[in-house]
Structures are given as C-alpha cells and as structure tokens.
Amino acid sequence: MQKNDILDVEILDLTHEGQGVAKVDGFVFFVDNALPGEVIKMRILKLKKKIGFGKVEEYLNYSDKRNHDIDAAYLRSGIADFGHIVYEEQLKFKRQQVVNNLYKTAGISDVTVAKTIGMENPLAYRNKATVPVRRVNGQLETGFFRKNSHDLMPIEDFYIQDKVIDELIVFVRDLLRRFDIKPYDEKEQTGLIRNLLVRRGHYTGEIMLVLVTTRPKIFRIEQMVEKITQAFPSVVSILQNINDQNTNAILGSTFRTLYGKEAITDKMLENDYDISAQSFYQVNTEMAEKLYQIAIDYSELKADDVVIDAYSGIGTIGLSFAKQVKAVYGVEVVEAAVEDAKKNAERNGITNAHYVVNSAENAMTQWAKDGVQPNVILVDPPRKGLTESFIRASVDMSPEKVIYISCNPATMARDIKHYEELGYKLKKVQPMDLFPQTHHCEVVSLLERIAD
C-alpha cells in the first residue's frame, strides 16, 4: 500500500472523535466523514507503522444512521464533528462511550448508565463564540480554522451557535471591511484585528462583543461602536482586548471598555450572574441547568448539609443550591472567578457561600483543619480530571456523597476507580449532551461512602 492508493473498504467502527475506522492487511485506517456499515472507496493520505489515514473518494453505500442534511464544512472545521450522525445515534454513541470507559478503565459493569439526556432542538445552542479574523483571497473574512491547520474557512452560519451571535459577527465583519481594518496575518505578524469574541445571555438576550487587536489604536472606532449599537440594541458591552503576542492564546491580558458595561448578566436556575469576557460559563445554558439539577437531585440535600464545590468557577453550581443547605464552600485557582463568585453570591442575597482562591487539595486540607465537615463534595474538574492528592484529600473529609461532573468520561472512569479503592461506591451515572453535534460528552456520577 502506498499514499494515494484507492481501496474499497468497509467502515467497522467509530473513534470517540467521530472518525470512521477501517482495517486493511493489519493496518487500522482513520477516515473523516465515514460511518460504521458504510463501504467506501478510500484514498490513502498517510501511512505510519501500523495505522493510516484516509479520505472518502466515493460512497458505495450509506449508513442509515447518516445525517445527509449537513454541510461538509462543519465536519472539516471540527465545528460539528458528529453532525453527520443522526441525533438519536449521537446520544446512543455517547452513552456507550461512558459504558466502555467505566468497564475498560475501572472494571465497572454492574452500574446502569442511564440514556443520554439530549436536546429537543440540538442546534444554535452556543451562547459564546470565538471567531478568528483573517484575510482569505484578498478579503477580510470571519470563520473557523480547518481541522489541524490555521487555514481559515469563511463561515456565516455556525450551525450550533446562537443565530443572533452569527448575525452580529457577519455585521461586524462587513463593518471591518467597510472601514478597511486590516486582519491579522500570523506569518507576517501584521494587521490589527485577530478575533471576535461574542457572548449572549440565554434569558436576558444581553450581548457582549470583544474585539481582540494587536495594538491599542482602532481607526474610527467610535463610528463603528455607534453603528453596532444602533443595529443591535441588545449589545450592552463592547470591549477591546489587546493581544500583541505571537501566540495561539486568544486573549491578551489588557482590556478596555469601549461601550457600556464590563459584563453581561444572565440567569441560571433562578439566580442572576455577571458574566465577564473571561468568565467560565457553560456555553449551553438550557442543558447546563438540567445538568446542575441532576447534580442537586443526586445530592439529596438537607437543610443542615455542608457542601464543598471544588472547581467552583463563578459559583454557578454552588449558588444553585446554597439556599437549600447550611453552607457552601467553593474553591477555584482563578482569582477573577472567585471575585465573580463572591459578587454573584451577594447579587443573589446568598450569605452562606464562602469562596477562596487556592488549589482544591490545599483548600480542603485547610478546611479540614478548620473543622469543616462536608456531607457532599461536588467536583467539576477540567478534562485532565482529578489528581490523586485531591481524591485522597476529599476522602479524608469523609463526605457521604461525591458528585462528579465530568467533561471527559475516560479521566472520570480512572478517578472513580481510585474512589472505589478508597471506600466509595459508584451508584448512578447520567450522560448529558451539553455539546450536540460534537464528540464531547458531559456526565454526572454519584459516589456514596460505603458504611464502615
């Protein structure tokens, strides 16, 4: 076999990121936009020792699980890498990922993994967009990078983004063209405008626009602001972020307020939140509310309970149930997020939530010394999961329950194995589809302390 050979192959499986899997003469091939059961003519793009990468030249037959109503651009850019799979199958696939990880990593097969909770309308749900601005064929464009590249694909309808956000991005793109603002060029390190960041409140409709630039001065910015706010009265915040570094980081450290407020507000489970440009706030408000409600239901909270909210962010989970319990203790390493959490507690009249800037392990060790005895510890870690020292520190506090919210079923399964070794038992597992049309899967799990 050589590069550019064309072979007839059957797709046997799907990777967790949505690539089709084929086998030929001991080689495993990964193929974009190919589903199990499909037979294709595959062009070999790349060969390694035992694996290869191919692309579809022709479909000889289609899977009945294929969604034909999607533009291939969304697959090529990674915006919707599961968009070619009918939605019911996406939900089944995500549940199976959780089942497989629990069995392979933790040896658990005696706990029922519930069906994935999905959305009634699994499109246009994202309340936040980060869109690069580049020159394509001599013209300023907004869009998304082709997968594994920095080649911009011009896109106007982002498929999974709030439609008002899409409209604003196109409007700003046209303004930038009209005012002859130069887009950023990574190779040459020239141009002014790098990215547009937009956030929109799901319930309030308030919009924040952030213009990410390479230097402070923006020509005729006052006129641009006036045109944007006239066309979109719900834009209540326009910020400039200056990022003059040659880096993949989207935001720099300096912000300037060009118009209105420094943050927008939105609601989640009846609480109001201030959301700044840098706040971590779930991008799918409708499903985040369901996720948090399941975490609350699993906790079976009582009025005299003490809850630790590790990785507390701006307080969205802990503040959702603070009024039902005696006290909430939250910890987060990002100082700005902790300040936001304190403000959000005050904003909602919550006086029994206490937030600190620290690593979760150190905070729990200190709280234990201070005599804090949690009934429930709620964790929502980043993709890499929990550290062993965190797991030990949490077990040392002997909570009755650990509620684990995960965005990575593989690291969650690894961590659950540690908890089971230290005297906790997995009781419930609920996959949630916070990111429809993509391979990402969120999971809520309940662990209970085994009685001595």
How far apart are the C-alpha atoms of 32 and 75, rounded to whole Å? Answer: 8
Q: Give the containing element (helix H, strand E) for 22.
A: strand 20-24
* All residues at 6 or more sequence positions from 82 whose CB lies less than 8 Å from its CB, including other chains: 18, 90, 93, 436, 437, 438, 439
Whether 441 is catalytic is: no
CA distance 79 to 132: 13
Element (H, E) at 89: helix 87-106
Place of tokens 């999961």: 385
Report d(CA 283, CA 100) in Å as an integer.
27
Give me the catalytic one of 176, 397, 407, 444.
407
Q: Nearest CA to 79 among 165, 134, 155, 12? A: 155
Identify each DSSP E strand in 294-420 by its residue range.
Answer: 306-310, 327-332, 353-357, 376-379, 401-406
Q: Distance between CA 50 and CA 56 in Å, rounded?
A: 20
Phi, psi of 142 (to 5 degrees): -115, 150
CB atoms within 10 A of CB 20: 27
DSSP string, 184-201: PBTTTTB-SEEEEEEEE-
Question: Distance (Å, rounded) from C-alpha 197 to C-alpha 216?
Answer: 17
Distance CA 221, CA 229 (A): 12
Cβ neighbours for 5, distance < 8 A, ≥ 6 positions apart: 43, 44
The residue among 380, 337, 389 whose CA lies nearest residue 361 is: 389
Which residues does residue 145 pair with via DSSP β-bridges, in sequence order?
152
Residue 342 DSSP SS3: helix
Rg of the chain over CA atoms, in angstroms?
A: 24
User: Are 398 and 449 within 8 A, CB to CB?
Assistant: yes
Task: Find the DSSP H helices in 308-408.
Answer: 318-321, 335-347, 360-369, 388-396
**Active-site residue numbers?**
407
